[in-house]
Protein backbone atom coordinates (compact mmCIF):
# COMPACT_ATOMS: atom_id res chain seq x y z
CA UNK A 1 0.00 0.00 0.00
CA UNK A 2 1.31 3.45 -0.92
CA UNK A 3 1.91 5.85 1.95
CA UNK A 4 -0.31 8.47 0.35
CA UNK A 5 -2.88 7.58 -2.28
CA UNK A 6 -4.92 9.77 -4.57
CA UNK A 7 -7.19 9.10 -7.50
CA UNK A 8 -5.09 10.36 -10.44
CA UNK A 9 -8.14 11.39 -12.47
CA UNK A 10 -8.45 13.26 -14.71
CA UNK A 11 -11.61 14.81 -13.40
CA UNK A 12 -13.29 16.65 -16.28
CA UNK A 13 -15.99 18.98 -14.96
CA UNK A 14 -18.01 21.85 -16.41
CA UNK A 15 -17.44 25.37 -15.21
CA UNK A 16 -19.49 26.04 -12.09
CA UNK A 17 -19.48 22.43 -10.91
CA UNK A 18 -18.53 21.24 -7.45
CA UNK A 19 -15.75 18.67 -7.33
CA UNK A 20 -14.24 16.72 -4.45
CA UNK A 21 -10.91 14.98 -4.14
CA UNK A 22 -9.89 12.47 -1.49
CA UNK A 23 -6.51 11.37 -0.30
CA UNK A 24 -5.74 8.50 2.06
CA UNK A 25 -2.59 8.03 4.10
CA UNK A 26 -1.17 4.98 5.86
CA UNK A 27 0.89 6.43 8.73
CA UNK A 28 -1.38 7.13 11.67
CA UNK A 29 1.41 9.18 13.31
CA UNK A 30 1.39 11.77 10.51
CA UNK A 31 1.33 15.28 11.89
CA UNK A 32 0.62 17.86 9.20
CA UNK A 33 -1.45 17.83 6.07
CA UNK A 34 -1.62 20.13 3.06
CA UNK A 35 -3.08 20.50 -0.39
CA UNK A 36 -0.73 21.85 -3.07
CA UNK A 37 -1.60 22.90 -6.58
CA UNK A 38 0.71 22.27 -9.52
CA UNK A 39 0.16 23.80 -12.92
CA UNK A 40 1.57 22.08 -15.99
CA UNK A 41 5.39 22.23 -16.00
CA UNK A 42 5.42 24.52 -12.97
CA UNK A 43 6.45 24.03 -9.35
CA UNK A 44 3.89 23.06 -6.69
CA UNK A 45 2.38 25.89 -4.66
CA UNK A 46 0.53 25.69 -1.36
CA UNK A 47 -3.23 25.79 -1.75
CA UNK A 48 -4.18 25.31 1.87
CA UNK A 49 -3.32 23.57 5.10
CA UNK A 50 -5.69 20.92 6.41
CA UNK A 51 -6.89 20.82 10.01
CA UNK A 52 -9.06 18.39 11.95
CA UNK A 53 -11.60 21.14 12.44
CA UNK A 54 -11.72 21.72 8.70
CA UNK A 55 -10.86 24.96 6.99
CA UNK A 56 -12.32 27.03 4.22
CA UNK A 57 -10.77 29.56 1.90
CA UNK A 58 -13.26 31.05 -0.49
CA UNK A 59 -14.46 28.30 -2.82
CA UNK A 60 -12.09 25.75 -1.31
CA UNK A 61 -12.78 23.58 1.74
CA UNK A 62 -10.36 21.07 3.22
CA UNK A 63 -11.14 18.40 5.79
CA UNK A 64 -9.06 15.94 7.78
CA UNK A 65 -10.44 12.70 9.19
CA UNK A 66 -7.76 11.21 11.43
CA UNK A 67 -9.82 8.19 12.42
CA UNK A 68 -10.22 7.11 8.80
CA UNK A 69 -6.87 8.56 7.74
CA UNK A 70 -8.02 10.61 4.82
CA UNK A 71 -8.08 14.23 3.78
CA UNK A 72 -10.40 15.85 1.32
CA UNK A 73 -10.59 18.94 -0.83
CA UNK A 74 -13.86 20.41 -2.08
CA UNK A 75 -13.92 23.01 -4.83
CA UNK A 76 -17.19 24.84 -5.37
CA UNK A 77 -18.18 26.87 -8.43
CA UNK A 78 -15.22 25.59 -10.46
CA UNK A 79 -13.42 28.08 -12.69
CA UNK A 80 -11.40 27.42 -15.81
CA UNK A 81 -8.39 28.67 -13.87
CA UNK A 82 -8.81 25.84 -11.35
CA UNK A 83 -7.52 23.40 -13.98
CA UNK A 84 -4.36 21.94 -12.48
CA UNK A 85 -3.03 18.93 -10.61
CA UNK A 86 -3.88 18.84 -6.91
CA UNK A 87 -1.36 17.15 -4.66
CA UNK A 88 -2.00 16.08 -1.11
CA UNK A 89 0.97 16.18 1.22
CA UNK A 90 1.37 14.31 4.49
CA UNK A 91 4.18 15.11 6.90
CA UNK A 92 5.47 12.77 9.58
CA UNK A 93 8.39 13.19 11.92
CA UNK A 94 11.05 10.49 12.01
CA UNK A 95 14.42 10.52 13.76
CA UNK A 96 14.43 14.24 14.39
CA UNK A 97 13.54 15.17 10.84
CA UNK A 98 10.46 15.66 8.76
CA UNK A 99 9.37 13.21 6.11
CA UNK A 100 7.16 14.77 3.48
CA UNK A 101 5.15 12.41 1.33
CA UNK A 102 3.25 13.64 -1.72
CA UNK A 103 0.42 11.82 -3.37
CA UNK A 104 0.61 11.20 -7.09
CA UNK A 105 -1.73 14.11 -7.69
CA UNK A 106 -5.27 14.40 -9.04
CA UNK A 107 -5.67 16.16 -12.36
CA UNK A 108 -8.62 18.52 -12.71
CA UNK A 109 -9.81 19.89 -16.03
CA UNK A 110 -12.56 22.50 -15.90
CA UNK A 111 -14.31 22.94 -19.22
CA UNK A 112 -16.70 25.51 -20.70
Among 58, 100, 110, 112, binds another protein (CB under 8 A): 100
Scanning 12-20, 38-46, 54-62, 63-71 for contacts with another protein by CB under 8 A, the matching segment is: 38-46
Counting residues that bind another protein (by CB under 8 A) gives 30
Closest CA to 20 of 78, 80, 68, 69: 78
CA distances from 100 to 19, 72, 82, 107, 109 (A): 26, 18, 24, 20, 26
Using CB under 8 A, list all residues that contact another protein: 4, 6, 8, 31-32, 34, 36, 42-46, 49, 87, 89, 91-105
Amino acid sequence: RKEVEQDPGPFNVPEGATVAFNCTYSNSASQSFFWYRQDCRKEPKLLMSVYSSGNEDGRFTAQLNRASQYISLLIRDSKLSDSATYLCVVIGVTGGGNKLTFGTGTQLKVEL
